[in-house]
Amino acid sequence: MALAASELFQNHSVIERKDLLQGALEQAGLQELGPDAVMAELAELERNGAMVVLGDEARPGRWTTPGIAASEAAMLRAAERPEERDWITSDAVELALTRSPHLSDEQRLALGQSSGREGVAIIEAGAGTGKTTLAKALVEIARESGLRVLGLSPSWVAADELSSSIGISAQAIARWRHDLASGNALALDAATLIILDEAGMVGTKDMAVVLTAARDAGAKVVLLGDRRQLASVSGASALRAVSEVVERVATLQNVRRQQIDWQQAATVVMAQGDAESGLRAYADHDRIEFVEGSDQAQDRVIALWRQQCAEHGEDVLIITRRNDDAAALNRKARQALRKEGLLGPDLVELRALDRKGKPTKIAIAIGDSLRFGETLPQHGIRNGHRATVEAIGQNQAGEVTLTLSHQDGRRLELPWQALAREPLFKRKPTPPKIVHAIAGTAYSVQGRTAAAAVLYIARSTDAREVYVSLSRHRHDARIVVEQDRLDALCRLRQADSRMPAPAQAIRERLFSEAAQYWEKTNVVDHADDRIAFIADGIVRRDVAQKLTWTSRALRSLQRLGDALRSLGPDRWPARLVKAVRALGSAWEVQVSNEIAGRVSGHLDRNQMDLAQRRSQGIER
């Protein structure tokens, strides 16, 4: 049980019952232990406080740990810094806006909001909405106000992109945390602005460290991100939790990246959480093809890729979900390039680590595009960087050497083994972690922009993957779907499963997958008293404060009221907003009679006795 829980907590702040029991029973099977032993260990972990029950104690369905809860609470405390002080001068804002007439009204509004007195500001920027342009102006404003600017990102690739695009010093958060712990990090103070890019991919612990260090030093933080794109690998939905604490969140919604109007509109609706409608737009414009068989589908992906390259240049992405599919597409892509004379024959086959870190062999030819899976500081190479093979040779020691053209323009000539990470603590050296870079996963392309893209859907997809994959391109995107899996799923619902599924049923099954929007759960989502949880990080299970289904409905009404108010008085009647908020302020079940009366009154219905209201479902 402890092993299973530990593995799950590496990627989640809150773990579910089915996932925990499945992992624990698998571990128990390896040790020849039965279910009773598993449940006994779970009960002991709960008794000694190693795992904290969230929700019903009688039948626990979710757990966290005291450390995770404390980290999340610390993050939320550090984010709550309203009306703290002035970091940015109004003169600097006016000067920057005057110098940047190209900024849209939406971008100008976001700059004004993020330049306020709050210690933490959030700019939620959808894909292709001009986030980089906005960040450049923000840096100019900060410098005019006498501030130093530090850039942070969840990965080195994103940090390097941030640094080169807006002209600031930027680091990966992991490296910055290491430097902070060792006393080598840039000293933060009240004259520092931290720009945290790709904030939607930042885990809870990283976010907590950044926000706490900034608060203690008096520095201002601006979070740039998009909660609808890919989530953090570790932790929970940190940006969502912080945005519920920060009073004002600026939003960029006007898409600039896509050149075709209907594709711009598709990206907008996907950024709003409706990936299904975005995917339907691509289907309506004949951009989706369903192909039987994995080989045939992959061949079609490569054919479309070459067509897109002929129309838009070689800057065309191939995107898929799984590393195995990316590896298969890379093999076929290399064959296609070789047939066109754009890739030489394989000259060497070298020991390497694949995307999952497993030993393999990689064939290399002159012209190959390679992607590094590790950071090699001695060579100025980051995890995710790319390089093209210009020459393959051999040094005097008999080692294979590669001459590489790095993505930043540098030319490197190094032995193959020198491209491996240096072993620590006298461990055995490992081969280089390098793969072919033509096709990649959605995680590997987030933050990139390309001329065009081809999306290969071979496995179950979701809203995040669809949104990220179909928002990278400027000119066009095509989608190839492996039909066999969807056909098999549709047949399960047919009266005669031997008959092929109708084409429309297969399409609708794909659209239903694109509608699935899964978000990691925060601990605070399960706290009965959110204010108390933020104060001390303790998840209380006070019976008097447990949420009944009625109070959950009331809380939903209160949040609906906030959402209605944010739309503006011209969009919704003020009395409706006031009524919904008033309903949400009620808490105890005992006032349900009064609540139902208010609802029926605002619906212009006659007052009814409580029994009649219940029978007609008014409480629901």
Name the helix (H) or strand (E) containing 541. Answer: none
pLDDT tens column, 220-264:
999 998 888 877 777 788 998 998 888 778 888 888 899 999 999
CB 350 within 8 A of CB 400: yes
pLDDT one-digit tens code per residue, 46-90:
888 888 888 766 567 888 999 999 999 999 999 999 989 999 999
**Could you read off the pLDDT of 31-47 as tens digits, one per residue?**
888 888 888 888 888 88
Q: What is the pLDDT of residue 465?
A: 93
Rounded to whole angstroms, how far apart are CA atoms 618 and 620?
A: 5
Give the pLDDT band (50/70/90) at residue 1: confident
Q: Which helix (H) or strand (E) holds 354?
A: none
The predicted structure's pLDDT at residue 481: 97
CATH topology of domain 75-252: Rossmann fold (3.40.50)
What per-residue confidence (pLDDT) applies to 151? 96
Instruction: For residues 438-445, give the mean pLDDT.
Output: 90
Task: Name the band, by pLDDT with cuts 50, 70 and 90, for residue 600.
Answer: low
* Averaged confidence pLDDT in the chain: 86
Give the amino acid at 158. Answer: A
Beta bridge partners of 452: 316, 476
List pLDDT tens digits, range 121-171.
999 988 888 889 999 999 999 999 999 999 999 988 888 889 989 999 999
455-467 pLDDT, tens digit per residue, is 999 999 999 999 9
Tokens, residue 283: 């289907």
- Note the pLDDT of residue 589: 43
Nearest-10 Cα torsion for 549, 551, 552, 554: 130
The pLDDT score that the predictor gives to residue 594 is: 52
Grade residue 422 by pLDDT with cuts at 50, 70 and 90.
confident
Any idea where the domains of the chain sit in the sequence? 1-64, 75-252, 274-515, 547-616
State the pLDDT at residue 245.
87
Of 101-110, 470-479, 567-576, the poorest mean pLDDT is in 567-576
- Residue 93, pLDDT score: 92
Indicate the pTM of the whole model: 0.78
What pLDDT was estimated at residue 611?
47
Domains 75-252 and 274-515 share a fold: yes
Q: Which residues contact 364 (CB under 8 A, 6 or more apart)?
A: 346, 347, 348, 349, 350, 370, 389, 392, 402
How many whole angstroms separate alpha carbon 314 and alpha carbon 210?
39
Name the pLDDT band for 572 (thresholds 50, 70, 90).
low
* 89: its two tokens: 């001068």
The CATH number of the domain covering residues in 274-515:
3.40.50
What is the reported pLDDT for 376?
A: 92
